[in-house]
Amino acid sequence: MMELLVSLENSGFGVWLRESPSIWAYPAILTLHTLGLAVLVGGNAVVDLRLLGYGRGIALSSLDTLFPVMWAGFWVNAISGVALFVGDATTKGTTQVFVWKLVIIAAGVLVLVAIRRTVYGRGVDAPVESPISRVLAATSLALWFLAIVTGRYMAYV
Binding site for another protein (CB under 8 A): 23, 26-27, 30-31, 34-35, 37-39, 41-46, 49-50, 54-59, 61-63, 65-66, 144-145, 148-149, 151-153, 155-156
Of 5 and 73, which CB lies nearer to another protein in the complex structure?
73
Q: Least distance from C-beta 2 to another protein, angstroms?
A: 28
| Identity of the residue, 126 or 149, whose beta carbon is nearer to another protein in the bound complex | 149
Which distant-in-sequence residues (6+ apart) come within 8 Å of 31 by Cβ? none
Rounded least distance, CB 140 to another protein, Å = 12
